[in-house]
Amino acid sequence: MKLTVQKKSWPLREPFVIARATYTNSDVIVVQLQDGSLIGRGEAAGVDYHGETPDGMLAQLEAVRARIEAGITRAELLKVLPIGGARNAVDAALWDLEAKRSGRRVWELAGVGNEREIASAVTIGIRSVEEYEKTARELAQYRWLKIKVNKEQPLECVRAVRRGAPNSRLIVDANQAWDVKTLYALGPRLAELRVDLLEQPVPVDGDDELVAGQSPIPVCADEAIDTIADLERLKSRYEFVNIKLDKTGGLTAALELANAARAQGMRLMVGCMVTGSIGMAPGMVLAQLCEVVDLDGPLLQAADWPDAIQYDSTGVMSWPSASLWG
């Protein structure tokens, strides 16, 4: 088996502003695993707040190149590479290659099927209150909108989006910018605006006073959740977990985490880092198990892969073609 790894930079449609950073490009790695005439592909951005970069992920893969090219399995990969983007990209390529070898689609191999229609949220980055409303009007047909906010005027920002998109379901993502006191103060007023979910509103190291069920809006762990080991601490604080393949280190580990979280009574969201459609496709498999879907990376980019996943005007995603992935 031959391993090829490349860096790729996707330009974004507009600067993507969240509470901790502003992005103008999405820098990813692309992995190819070739077995004879068959090629499996994977794409990953890594987790920047864990210090991951494309160069760092490439170095990780070079260090284990011989092991991968000797014919590694997905189970063995979990022991060879740590959680993160490098493992995610190889795991995705292995799933893709297995699908091509077997002539079956990945969702069949994973045992989840593809019966559930997948409607992704689309994200509105931080901007002026006036621009929140304007952008929301342009996206008002989407079933789900995700609103990035910080600690400055969050209620006014959400209210502006609600004016612009009166019927969309709303996720508010503060990327750890609030504290627990602020969350509980804002909760009832955000509930009046029909917000469905609050994503990681408080710092990972500042959620000790968070109590699951105390907010009128369910609270979702994002930066706070990476692996199954985190569930014991989080289950009394958050109702949802946001599972991202770059965080878990691939679809294989993500499916295990999803089943473990559900067994603990937690509800599921699937999220993403910003990548093209090859990076989104494995997340669509996991999405079959999730109530909330945020797989909008390609919508934020100015370009995408050939035979890309398509999104209709409401956010419903087409299943990836076999020529793209899986």
Helix (H, G, I), strand (E, B) or coil at 151: coil
Contact 148, 173 (CB under 8 A): yes
Q: Is 7 a catalytic residue?
A: no
Contact 290, 272 (CB under 8 A): no
Distances (CA, A) of 203 to 66, 162, 182: 40, 26, 12
Among 148, 151, 181, 247, the one annotated catalytic = 148
Among 2, 151, 181, 244, the one annotated catalytic = 244
Q: Is 244 a catalytic residue?
A: yes
Residue tagged 């999220």 (tokens) = 271
How far apart CA 241 and CA 223 sit, in angstroms, is: 9
How far apart CA 11 and CA 108 sit, in angstroms, is: 33
Q: What per-residue string of b and e applies to 33-62 under the rule 16 or more CB within 10 Å gives b?
A: bbeeeeebbbbbbbbeeeebebeebbebbe
How far apart CA 273 and CA 291 sit, in angstroms, is: 18
Give pairs for 61-68: CB < 8 Å, separation 24+: 61/3, 61/5, 61/29, 61/31, 61/86, 61/89, 61/90, 62/5, 65/3, 68/1, 68/3, 68/33
Question: Which tokens go with 273?
Answer: 């880092």
Residues annotated as catalytic are 148, 244
